[in-house]
């Protein structure tokens, strides 16, 4: 008898082998699928910044409104990282000195722009406009999480298309009925509408 | 029903002189020997030459595709007026080739056509390789195959975002993948008994290679033991599969034809496309089967099993489908004229008189005129003639697709958007390369797998036929 | 996906994306700041620690880095696997520059002497889009060339600093050299000459005046490559005023053009196009336009009646009309002349119509011939058009070239008399009729200084090159038409170490105050007093700067315009006795191409790839011959022929041009540049040298060579298809005003859910003149790549909007129609159902949207598009050495619009109705707490269109202009019968054949 062949035969014919093989394949497939689905998703990304700026202290403890520093978010597609001059608005007057504040003042004195690290990155084929959302009354925390409690900013949301659409689907009520239109004309206030068209974000 | 009735009548008539699908009434053991020879012996010079050429073409394909994907679709002659040309022409051509196999193995099986036995195996193999070639083109014609997964419906994080089920391209994906799967299963299933035979023939060989081949055959033959129960179930399974495969033969090319039929372009937007494409597919399929089998029986010394009778039968099918195709051409022109649609009329006049008219006339020559040569029995039984004709059929069918695709696109609605297509070296390289892939696969197949269904062919030898007749007579007597 | 495209731009850190850009611009918020450097913000009382003026330039330079960093970073980084991406904010905040927000500033176009008023979009410190200034009373919209000038700003071929004898030096060195030379020249009274193109800037002319005072031996010679000096001379003789009149086509009911392409290139096309369109409204007044011309020009293609005439017969045409008008006016002794070019009945009718509309008719001639111009003047004055449609009291300063002076200068130079020669905005070594004569002369000049922005044919032969700013980098002003002033302000600090010509002229006069200060003082002293709207200068200045244009009452001391006293008789006899041409010879007709004009823009790839409005040929010029002549000589398209005049000859491929006069051969000037840059180098053949003597006896020989012309349209007849619908004025007037309601065909597809708006376009084919400004505007707005000659030949041009042009009627004198064709945004789009991945769908607002990152490139949509408006990226056109145009260099990519994704290989693209502008407008409405109003959104093509042929708007708003157009009785939709339900409606082309 041909041992190798026989062994092989036994192995192939054995039920246990089949069960194990099927299970292994199944699990492997699931794992691979999950991994693939996370490609390009950087949820939880929290890089160390050149100056360890604590949002907790500013937005949380001292209750500085988000839009005081990120004023561009009102008018621009970019929320904008505040110019050092904005920081200095307060920090020229405040005595408190820490190593990090020193870094800031140093940068200002040397006229050296600060190279912050961007935390929330969207693909370049997505057009996201901050002002559109801010003016429509979307709270910053809705996407950025409770930044006022973060010492180091972290990407809370997955920033996937599906995630965007969840919210957009909620708010996609368009004033189609005449009554709504009339109301809109009377108040002269457009009802903010979350677009579901591709071109709401892709162009 | 009626068809099967006819066949029984036929057998009834031929009771005295049973049709001999195997020449020279060899012993069963001899049959096995003959068919197993290519697998066990060394291949002849003919095989090596063919394989050398085919493999070179395959390598060329590899190079071409790499270059294409590295630099972009621009290396082809396509342009903004003619968005599809060689790529989709080749795709439809190969899908068409892929039709004969399942037709022979499934439909002819249901119709109890005994002559299919010695050709169905290789025809099925051909089907599978052809569909592989076909599948290549949709993948590379986008230029970025790595994005192809968008076309599959699977839960995703984009909303989720599904493919557009209204698009014929999505239907294609399903139709062709199904077709490939079924054909593959059918082919493999049919081979199991013969694989077992090969396994058993190798029992007392001890060479290292033989050991490897033995274990391979052992695995592939799934422990086939040839018991009566096994055989009984086997018969049922193959019948069921045949039932499943039959509608596919018709569906696949119908759906491929809808890539064009559902569009608005004059020359594409036609309701006759599905039947006309299926007929064309079978036509080209049989053309290719003829080509291959003629080569094989010459190079592999299998004249005894692939007889002139077989060729004759296939020639008849070819002629029939050829005439169906001709009718398709005619009705296209007729409906264009009869509809009075301005753009349709212009298109068909342009097809026959425009800059690509020569393609059209070549197509007519090959697909409309050529088949009529086969009215003559002499022609149907002359191997050389059949070989030439089968080649012409393939050329004709390739040009049919080219005419449909390119000629329709190059002069569509707005004259400002008119433009010519000129193929580049890469276009031609890929075309040739696809044949390389196809023939390489096929040559490897006839070298390493039993290319004729041993167990089936044994059922149509004179001996077997006699037994059948005897049984039938007894049955009649008992009935009386 | 677009990763390979845009990401490559964005993946760069701010630094390396800048190193090659040279000295980056200063940010400025106001005139003052540009002068004094950025001042700390108001919200920052004490000023920044260590923010001393000495550091200003450094400081602002870093700001620029910061800005760039921010923009590039924010432009996205999907493709870069490593997510590390920097955001570098401004160090000192600004209340005007908000990252991602565009500002618009008014300025004046420097593309040609027409000096149109512009509005320029500045985004994150970079001018990226040019628009027409609606505040202007003269202009509106732009021309293709004007649109493209923004790309010239980012031209890598521009010099990075001054050169002395070919060596880079610092400005002081040059200044020293020049001052010495001038002193020397002044001492021994050797002539100093400024040779310039037409200068419309009153302040610069003032400076030149100062030079005259300072250096008695100084002289200013104005030279235009394509000049109207004959007309100036004729006007001097006829009306005692050597000026170019200001024409008023909008006041004319009967227009006759003699070889004057006033809608395409002649004098002030944008202005004239606007007037012309306003005088041709089927619903209102509709003028009649007759054009006599040899080649097929844009203007001719719009004429109601176009008569092909050999160049040598233009005089005869003028005479024929003069004779007839004379009869009406009671002048009988107009000599007889041949009238072989047209049957006399037609001429009678034309003359009759002219006379019927005397006082509101207009005859213009672009023929560079004194006697013809005299005859035309006689015609206009006998018809009483002077002061009505021909305004000499407020003349145009847009062409001041003086050929005689130029010829004399060249002679002087060759005699070695000229000591110092300043060259500004001229390139005689390329475009003078006798280039080698000029270059020989140039060698005899003691000191030659060119202000050219690059090494060109002339400047490379000069001793020094003092590169001028691009007009988007410099201050300036212009007076295109008398007392119509416009201001120019910098949109970006100089990219390179260049200096404005005016600045140089001031510096060398010893005035160090700088150009800006001078400009302000000039306006304070000369323009401000002439107006009485604004009491104080500051507010006047700010208002002018903001509007860009000022119209002031005319100077009281304007020289009077005498009545016509020209000696038309001698002119007439001169025409009659003109030496005839041999009948076996042909006549050359030269014209400026709409894209390249006189060749100064040759290195602009957008313009090189702009299809000629008539022939649709790109990347090169050709000899246009009539099909009849071609058949006679056995020529076919692309055959290279050699054209021989007495002295010169050139080799050029042939193009078969229906409507071309069979004895004439038209050749475009402006091609065949030898030294201009990689895009324009040796594209086409230079025809200027052939202008040196009479071009009526030209021989044509086949060379046997053939080249393939890169044309974007190859079939010019409609094959009887209902694509462009035409009608005559009479018919339209007779038709009932009720629009035949285009009943939508039944459809199996469900109606798409409609949102608040339904965007659509209305395109008036009567207004469209085919100038192709929209094509370049779209290219600039939507980051459309240049693909090059080879790809155009392969039918792969990428323009989202194309202007289709069809001929109707006989081959020897066809009528022609232009049709802007872009995505029709079908309600039931054929492209949509076939896309396997939903990459193209109809939005809730009726836009057929193309999603680049979803597209997998099956091209099925393009095949199924009946309009063939979809464009496929066959290659990567960005950062690809094979396509070495603006998208292949960081400098060139600065022109890209950050709001529009750069498409990568294997992606389908097409017009999306400038959806980025729609979204922006919505955002602004939201910021302004108001709803969108009609006219808030203008697509790029609409904004650029000088004739307002394209109207964008909301079809749901019944009062919007576009909705009205869609209800017009002329309204129809292309290929409607396919059931595509387009959102783009066309208005029938109307011709006025009733008059004659």
Name the strand (E) or helix (H) holding C396: strand C390-396
Q: What is the secondary structure of A55-108 as a DSSP string?
A: HIIIIIIS---HHHHSGGGGTSSS--PPPHHHHHHHHTT-----HHHHHHHHHH
Beta strand residue intervals within chain A, DSSP E? 116-117
Give the separation between CA C897 and CA C129, rounded to whole angstroms.
8
**Positive or negative, the Cα torsion across C117, C121, C127, C128?**
negative
> Given a contact as 3+ CB pairs under 8 Å, which chains touch A?
B, C
* Residue entry with tokens 């200096």: C499
Query: Which of B67, B68, B71, B72 is the best substitution to test chain C (most C C-beta atoms within 10 A)?
Result: B72
- Taking the model in full, what pTM does it have? 0.89
Cα C151 to Cα B107, C154, C593: the distances in Å are 67, 5, 19
Cβ pair A162:B218 closer than 8 A: no
Name the strand (E) or helix (H) holding C591: strand C587-592
Give the separation between CA C137 and CA B469, rounded to whole angstroms.
105
Mean pLDDT, to the nearest integer, of A62-68? Answer: 93
Q: Is the pLDDT of residue B323 over 90?
A: yes
Instruction: Specify the pLDDT at position B242.
Output: 86
Give the separation between CA C131 and CA C139, rounded to whole angstroms.
11
Query: Which of C709, C790, C874 is the best substitution to test chain B (most B C-beta atoms within 10 A)?
Result: C874
Q: Which residue does chain A place closest to B157, by CA atoms?
A: A162
Q: Is B310 exposed, middle or buried (CB count within 10 Å of its CB: 0-12, 13-18, 19+)? A: buried
Alpha carbon of B308: minimum distance to chain A alpha carbons (Å)? 42
User: Half-sphere exposure of residue C67, counting CA atoms within 13 Å on the CB side?
Assistant: 28
Instruction: Specify the pLDDT at position B102.
Output: 81
Q: In 3D, which of C148, C129, C19 has the Cα closest to residue C680?
A: C148
For chain B, the distance separating the N- and C-terminal CA atoms, rounded to the nearest angstrom, is 24
Alpha carbon of B93: minimum distance to chain C alpha carbons (Å)? 18
Cβ pair B157:A165 closer than 8 A: no
Residue A84 and residue A104 in contact, taking contact as beta carbons nearer than 8 Å = yes
Average pLDDT, chain B: 86
> Given a contact as 3+ CB pairs under 8 Å, which chains touch B?
A, C
Cβ pair B142:C872 closer than 8 A: no
- Number of Cβ within 10 Å of residue B379's Cβ equals 18
Q: Which residue does chain C place closest to B269, by CA atoms?
A: C864
Q: Is B423 an 8 Å CB contact of chain C? A: no
Residues forming beta bridges with residue C763, ordered by sequence position: C950, C986
- Number of Cβ within 10 Å of residue C52's Cβ equals 11
Q: What is the secondary structure of B327-361 as a DSSP string?
A: HHHHHHHHHHHHH--HHHHHHHHHHHHSTTHHHHH
Instruction: Specify the pLDDT at position C558.
Output: 65
Residues forming beta bridges with residue C985, ordered by sequence position: C762
Copy the structure tokens of residue A99: 């190593």
Name the strand (E) or helix (H) holding B243: helix B228-261
Q: In 3D, which of A42, C969, A118, A34 has the Cα closest to residue B155?
A: A34
Helices B86-97 and B273-299 sit at what angle, rounded to 10 degrees? 70
Residues forming beta bridges with residue C477, ordered by sequence position: C487
**Nearest CB to B158; choose among A4, A13, A162:** A162
3-class DSSP assignment, residue C474: coil
Query: Which of B146, B149, B156, B159 is the best substitution to test chain A (most A C-beta atoms within 10 A)?
Result: B159
Give the separation between CA C580 and CA C597, rounded to whole angstroms.
30
Name the strand (E) or helix (H) holding C822: none
* Residues of chain A with C-beta less than 8 angstroms from the C-beta of B218: 5, 8-9
Give the separation between CA C325 and CA C349, rounded to whole angstroms.
11
Give the separation between CA C194 and CA C215, rounded to whole angstroms.
12
Non-local CB neighbours of C936 within 8 Å, separated by 6+ positions: C921, C924, C925
Alpha carbon of B142: minimum distance to chain A alpha carbons (Å)? 20
What confidence category does residue B198 fall into, taking pLDDT thresholds of 50, 70 and 90?
confident
DSSP C244: E
Cβ pair A190:C926 closer than 8 A: yes
Alpha carbon of B267: minimum distance to chain C alpha carbons (Å)? 12
Give the separation between CA C342 and CA C325, rounded to whole angstroms.
17
* Residues of chain C with C-beta less than 8 angstroms from the C-beta of A45: 83
Alpha carbon of C656: minimum distance to chain B alpha carbons (Å)? 17
10-residue stretch averages of pLDDT, chain C, 996 residues long: 37 33 36 38 34 38 45 40 77 84 94 94 93 91 94 94 94 92 91 95 95 93 93 91 93 94 94 94 90 94 93 90 92 84 88 93 92 93 92 92 93 93 95 93 94 94 95 95 93 94 93 91 93 92 94 77 84 83 81 92 95 95 94 94 88 95 92 93 92 77 93 88 88 66 68 80 95 96 96 95 93 92 94 94 92 94 95 94 93 94 94 94 89 92 95 93 92 91 93 72
* Residues of chain A with C-beta less than 8 angstroms from the C-beta of B214: 2, 5
Beta strand residue intervals within C776-926, DSSP E? 802-808, 815-821, 840-842, 848-850, 871-872, 908-909
* Residues of chain A with C-beta less than 8 angstroms from the C-beta of C927: 74-75, 131, 135
Alpha carbon of B176: minimum distance to chain A alpha carbons (Å)? 24
**Positive or negative, the Cα torsion across C890, C896, C900, C906?**
negative
Instruction: Specify the pLDDT at position C32.
Output: 38
Copy the structure tokens of residue C442: 């140039």
Phi and psi for C278 in degrees, rounded to 5?
-70, -20
Give the separation between CA C886 and CA C902, rounded to whole angstroms.
13
Q: In 3D, which of C66, C83, C72 has the Cα closest to residue A154?
A: C83
Q: Which residue does chain C place closest to B146, by CA atoms?
A: C856
Mean pLDDT, to the nearest integer, of B145-152? Answer: 91
Cβ pair A161:B158 closer than 8 A: yes
Alpha carbon of A149: minimum distance to chain B alpha carbons (Å)? 28
Q: What percent of chain A has pLDDT over 70?
A: 83
Residues in A whose CB is inside 8 Å of some CB of B read: 2, 4-5, 8-9, 12-13, 37, 41, 158, 160-163, 165
Mean pLDDT, to the nearest integer, of B314-326? Answer: 92
Q: In 3D, which of C283, C134, C121 has the Cα closest to residue C945?
A: C134
Give the separation between CA B229 and CA C673, rounded to whole angstroms.
89
Pairing between β-strand C244-247 and β-strand C390-396 as defined by DSSP bridges? antiparallel
Q: What angle do CA C632, C637, C638 make, to 5 degrees?
A: 125
**Nearest CB to A162; choose among B157, B214, B218:** B157
DSSP B365: I
Cβ pair A80:C100 closer than 8 A: yes
Cβ pair B414:C821 closer than 8 A: yes
What confidence category does residue B466 fall into, taking pLDDT thresholds of 50, 70 and 90?
low
* Residues of chain A with C-beta less than 8 angstroms from the C-beta of C99: 72, 76, 78, 80
Residue B313 and residue B377 in contact, taking contact as beta carbons nearer than 8 Å = no
Note the helical H segments in C188-297: 202-214, 229-239, 269-278
* Residue entry with tokens 């060398």: C508
Cβ pair C868:B263 closer than 8 A: no
Alpha carbon of A125: minimum distance to chain C alpha carbons (Å)? 6
Q: In 3D, which of C984, C912, C848, C994 has the Cα closest to residue C356?
A: C994
Instruction: Specify the pLDDT at position C734.
Output: 78
Q: Which residue does chain B place closest to C795, by CA atoms?
A: B79
Mean pLDDT, to the nearest integer, of B228-249? Answer: 87
Phi and psi for C361 in degrees, rounded to 5?
-120, 170
Q: Is the pLDDT of residue B14 over 70?
A: no
Copy the structure tokens of residue C881: 């050495």
Name the strand (E) or helix (H) holding B239: helix B228-261
Copy the structure tokens of residue B385: 């003639």
Q: Is the pLDDT of residue B15 over 60?
A: no
Q: Which residue does chain A place closest to C74, by CA atoms?
A: A78
Q: Is the pLDDT of residue A8 over 50?
A: yes
Give the separation between CA A59 and CA B479, rounded to whole angstroms.
100
Give the separation between CA C797 and CA C786, rounded to whole angstroms.
8
Q: What is the secondary structure of C173-206 as a DSSP string?
A: HHHHHHHHHHHHHHHTT--EEEEES----HHHHH
* Residues of chain A with C-beta less than 8 angstroms from the C-beta of C59: 111
For chain C, the distance separating the N- and C-terminal CA atoms, rounded to the nearest angstrom, is 59
Phi and psi for A199 in degrees, rounded to 5?
-75, 5
Mean pLDDT, to the nearest integer, of A176-203? Answer: 70
Q: What is the secondary structure of C757-788 as a DSSP string?
A: --EEEEEETTT-----HHHHHHHHHTTPPP-H
* Residues of chain C with C-beta less than 8 angstroms from the C-beta of A132: 919, 922-923, 926
Beta strand residue intervals within C19-145, DSSP E? 86-87, 102-108, 117-123, 126-132
Alpha carbon of A6: minimum distance to chain B alpha carbons (Å)? 10
Instruction: Specify the pLDDT at position A185.
Output: 62
Give the separation between CA C5 and CA C11, rounded to whole angstroms.
10
3-class DSSP assignment, residue C660: coil
Model confidence over B346-374: pLDDT tens digits? Answer: 999 999 999 999 999 999 999 999 999 99
Residues forming beta bridges with residue C108, ordered by sequence position: C117
Cα C491 to Cα A167, C97, C890: the distances in Å are 40, 13, 19
Cβ pair B413:C802 closer than 8 A: no
Note the helical H segments in C577-721: 605-608, 627-633
Alpha carbon of A157: minimum distance to chain B alpha carbons (Å)? 13
Q: Is B424 an 8 Å CB contact of chain C? A: no
């Amino acid at each position: 008898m041909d041992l190798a062949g026989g062994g092989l035969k036994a192995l192939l014919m054995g039920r246990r082998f089949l069960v194990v093989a099927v299970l292994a394949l199944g699990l492997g497939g699931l794992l691979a699928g999950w991994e693939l689905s996370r490609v390009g998703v950087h949820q939880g990304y929290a890089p160390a910044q050149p100056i360890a700026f604590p949002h907790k202290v500013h937005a949380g403890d001292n209750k500085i409104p988000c839009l005081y520093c990120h004023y561009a978010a009102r008018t621009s597609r970019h929320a904008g990282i505040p110019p050092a001059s904005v920081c200095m608005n307060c920090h020229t007057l405040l005595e408190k000195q820490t190593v990090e504040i020193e870094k800031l003042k140093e940068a200002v004195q040397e006229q050296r722009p600060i190279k912050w690290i961007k935390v929330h990155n969207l693909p370049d084929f997505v057009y996201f406009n901050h002002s559109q959302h801010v003016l429509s009354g979307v709270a910053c925390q809705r996407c950025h999480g409770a930044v006022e409690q973060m010492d180091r900013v972290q990407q809370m949301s997955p920033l996937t298309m599906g995630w965007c659409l969840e919210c957009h689907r909620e708010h996609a009520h368009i004033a189609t009925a005449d009554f709504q239109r009339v109301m809109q004309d009377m108040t002269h206030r457009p009802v903010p509408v979350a677009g579901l068209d591709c071109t709401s974000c892709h162009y | 029903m009626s068809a099967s009735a006819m066949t029984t009548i036929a057998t009834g008539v031929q009771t005295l002189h049973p049709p001999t699908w195997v020449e020279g009434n060899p012993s069963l053991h001899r049959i096995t020997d003959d068919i197993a020879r290519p697998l066990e012996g060394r291949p002849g010079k003919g095989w090596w030459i063919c394989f050398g050429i085919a493999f070179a073409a395959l390598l060329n394909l590899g190079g071409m595709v790499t270059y294409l994907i590295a630099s972009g679709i621009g290396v082809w002659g396509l342009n903004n007026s003619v968005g599809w040309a060689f790529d989709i022409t080749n795709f439809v051509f190969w899908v068409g080739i892929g039709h004969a196999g399942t037709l022979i193995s499934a439909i002819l099986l249901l119709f109890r056509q005994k002559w299919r036995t010695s050709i169905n195996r290789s025809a099925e193999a051909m089907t599978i390789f052809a569909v592989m070639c076909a599948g290549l083109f949709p993948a590379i014609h986008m230029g970025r195959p790595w994005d192809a997964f968008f076309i599959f419906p699977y839960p995703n994080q984009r909303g989720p975002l599904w493919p557009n089920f209204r698009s014929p391209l999505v239907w294609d994906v399903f139709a062709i993948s199904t077709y490939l799967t079924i054909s593959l299963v059918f082919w493999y299933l049919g081979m199991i008994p013969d694989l077992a035979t090969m396994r058993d023939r190798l029992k007392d060989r001890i060479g290292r290679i033989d050991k490897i081949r033995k274990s391979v055959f052992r695995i592939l033959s799934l422990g086939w033991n040839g018991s009566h129960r096994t055989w009984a179930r086997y018969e049922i399974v193959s019948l069921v599969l045949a039932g499943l495969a039959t509608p596919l033969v018709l569906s696949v090319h119908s759906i491929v034809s809808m890539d064009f039929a559902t569009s608005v372009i004059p020359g594409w937007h036609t309701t006759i496309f599905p039947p006309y494409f299926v007929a064309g597919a079978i036509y080209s399929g049989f053309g290719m089967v003829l080509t291959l089998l003629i080569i094989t029986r010459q190079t592999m010394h299998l004249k005894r099993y692939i007889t002139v009778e077989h060729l004759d039968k296939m020639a008849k099918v070819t002629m029939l489908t050829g005439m169906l195709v001709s009718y398709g051409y005619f009705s296209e022109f007729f409906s264009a004229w009869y509809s009075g649609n301005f753009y349709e009329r212009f298109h068909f006049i342009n097809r026959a008189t425009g800059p690509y008219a020569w393609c059209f006339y070549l197509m007519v020559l090959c697909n409309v005129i050529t088949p009529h040569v086969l009215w003559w029995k002499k022609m149907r039984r002359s191997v050389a003639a059949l070989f030439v004709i089968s080649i012409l059929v393939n050329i004709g069918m390739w040009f049919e697709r080219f005419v449909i695709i390119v000629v329709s696109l190059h002069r569509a609605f707005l004259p400002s958007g008119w433009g010519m297509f000129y193929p580049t070296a890469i276009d031609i390289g890929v075309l040739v390369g696809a044949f390389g892939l196809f023939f390489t696969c096929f040559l490897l197949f006839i070298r390493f797998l039993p290319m004729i269904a041993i167990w089936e062919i044994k059922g149509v030898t004179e001996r077997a036929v006699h037994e059948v007749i005897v049984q039938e007579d007894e049955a009649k007597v008992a009935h009386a | 996906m677009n990763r390979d495209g845009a990401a490559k731009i964005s993946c760069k850190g701010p630094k390396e994306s800048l190193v090659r850009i040279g000295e980056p611009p200063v940010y400025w918020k106001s005139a003052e700041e540009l002068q004094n450097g950025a001042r700390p913000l108001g919200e920052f009382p004490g000023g920044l620690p260590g923010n001393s003026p000495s550091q200003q330039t450094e400081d602002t330079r870093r700001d620029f880095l910061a800005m760039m960093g921010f923009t590039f970073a924010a432009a996205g980084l999907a493709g870069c696997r490593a997510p590390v991406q920097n955001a570098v904010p401004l160090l000192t905040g600004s209340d005007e520059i908000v990252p991602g927000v565009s500002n618009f500033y008014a300025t004046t176009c420097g593309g040609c002497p027409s000096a149109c008023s512009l509005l320029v979009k500045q985004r994150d410190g970079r001018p990226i889009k040019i628009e027409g200034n609606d505040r202007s009373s003269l202009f509106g919209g732009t021309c293709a060339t004007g649109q493209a000038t923004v790309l010239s700003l980012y031209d890598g071929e521009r010099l990075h600093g001054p050169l002395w004898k070919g060596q880079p030096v610092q400005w002081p060195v040059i200044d020293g050299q020049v001052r010495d030379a001038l002193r020397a020249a002044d001492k021994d009274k050797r002539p100093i000459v400024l040779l310039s193109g037409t200068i419309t800037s009153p302040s610069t002319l003032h400076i030149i005046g100062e030079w005259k005072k300072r250096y008695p031996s100084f002289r200013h010679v104005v030279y235009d490559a394509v000049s109207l000096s004959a007309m100036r001379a004729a006007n001097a003789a006829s009306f005692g005023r050597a000026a170019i009149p200001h024409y008023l086509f909008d006041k004319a009911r009967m227009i006759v053009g003699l070889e004057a392409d006033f809608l395409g290139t002649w004098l002030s096309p944008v202005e004239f196009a606007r007037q012309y369109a306003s005088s041709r409204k089927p619903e209102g007044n509709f003028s009649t336009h007759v054009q006599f011309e040899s080649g097929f020009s844009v203007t001719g293609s719009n004429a109601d009646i176009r008569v092909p005439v050999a160049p040598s017969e233009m005089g005869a045409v003028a005479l024929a009309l003069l004779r007839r008008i004379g009869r009406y006016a009671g002048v009988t002794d107009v000599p007889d002349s041949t009238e072989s070019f047209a049957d006399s009945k037609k001429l009678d009718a034309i003359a009759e119509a002219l006379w019927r509309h005397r006082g509101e008719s207009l005859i213009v001639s672009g023929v560079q011939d004194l006697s013809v111009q005299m005859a035309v003047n006689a015609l206009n004055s006998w018809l009483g058009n002077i002061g009505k449609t021909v305004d000499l009291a407020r003349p145009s300063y847009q062409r001041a070239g003086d050929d005689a002076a130029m010829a004399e200068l060249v002679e002087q130079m060759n005699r070695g008399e000229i000591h110092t020669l300043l060259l500004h905005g001229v390139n005689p070594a390329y475009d003078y009729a006798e280039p080698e004569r000029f270059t020989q002369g140039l060698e005899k000049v003691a000191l030659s200084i060119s202000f050219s922005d690059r090494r060109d044919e002339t400047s490379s032969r000069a001793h020094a090159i003092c590169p001028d700013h691009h007009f988007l980098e410099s201050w300036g002003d212009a007076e295109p038409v008398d007392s119509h002033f416009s201001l120019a302000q910098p949109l970006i600090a100089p990219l390179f170490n260049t200096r404005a010509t005016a600045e140089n002229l001031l510096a060398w006069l010893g005035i160090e105050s700088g150009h800006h200060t001078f400009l302000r003082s000039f306006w304070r002293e000369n323009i401000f007093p002439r107006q009485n709207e604004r009491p104080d200068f500051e507010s006047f200045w700010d208002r002018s700067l903001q509007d860009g244009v000022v119209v002031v009452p005319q100077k009281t001391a304007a020289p009077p315009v005498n009545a016509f006293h020209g000696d038309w008789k001698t002119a007439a006899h001169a025409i009659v006795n003109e030496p005839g041409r041999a009948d076996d010879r042909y006549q050359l007709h030269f014209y400026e191409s709409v894209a390249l004009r006189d060749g100064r823009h040759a290195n602009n790839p957008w313009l090189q790839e702009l299809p000629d409005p008539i022939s649709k040929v790109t990347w090169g010029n050709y000899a246009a011959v009539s099909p009849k002549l071609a058949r006679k000589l056995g020529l076919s398209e692309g055959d290279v022929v050699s054209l021989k005049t007495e002295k010169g000859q050139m080799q050029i491929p042939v193009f078969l041009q229906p409507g071309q006069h069979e004895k004439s051969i038209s050749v475009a000037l402006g091609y065949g540049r030898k030294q201009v840059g990689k895009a324009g180098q040796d594209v086409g053949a230079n025809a200027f040298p052939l202008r040196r003597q009479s071009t009526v006896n030209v021989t044509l020989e086949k060379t046997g060579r053939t080249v393939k012309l890169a044309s974007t349209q190859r079939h010019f007849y409609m094959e009887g298809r209902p694509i462009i619908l035409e009608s005559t004025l009479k018919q339209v007037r007779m038709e009932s005003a009720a629009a035949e309601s285009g009943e939508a065909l039944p459809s199996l597809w469900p109606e798409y859910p409609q949102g608040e708006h339904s965007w659509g376009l209305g395109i008036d084919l009567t207004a469209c003149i085919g100038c192709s400004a929209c094509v370049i505007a779209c290219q600039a707005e939507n980051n459309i790549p240049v693909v090059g000659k080879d790809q155009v030949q392969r039918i792969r041009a990428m323009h989202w909007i194309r202007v289709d042009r069809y001929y109707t009627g006989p081959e020897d004198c066809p009528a022609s129609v232009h049709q802007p064709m872009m995505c029709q945004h079908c309600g039931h789009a054929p492209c949509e159902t076939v896309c396997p991945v939903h990459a193209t769908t109809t939005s809730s607002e009726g836009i057929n949207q193309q999603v680049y990152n979803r597209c997998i490139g099956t091209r099925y949509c393009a095949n199924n598009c009946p309009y063939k408006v979809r464009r496929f990226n066959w290659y990567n056109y960005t950062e690809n050495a094979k396509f070495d145009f603006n998208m292949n260099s960081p400098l060139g990519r600065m022109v890209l619009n950050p709001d529009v994704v750069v498409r990568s290989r294997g992606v389908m693209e097409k017009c999306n109705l400038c959806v980025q502008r729609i979204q922006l407008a919505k955002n602004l409405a939201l910021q302004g707490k108001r709803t969108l109003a009609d006219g808030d959104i203008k697509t790029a093509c609409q904004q650029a269109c000088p004739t307002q042929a394209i109207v964008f708007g909301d079809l749901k708003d019944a009062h919007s202009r576009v909705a009205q157009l869609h209800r017009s009785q002329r309204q129809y939709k292309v290929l409607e019968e396919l059931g595509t339900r387009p959102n783009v409606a066309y208005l029938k082309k109307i011709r006025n054949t009733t008059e004659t």
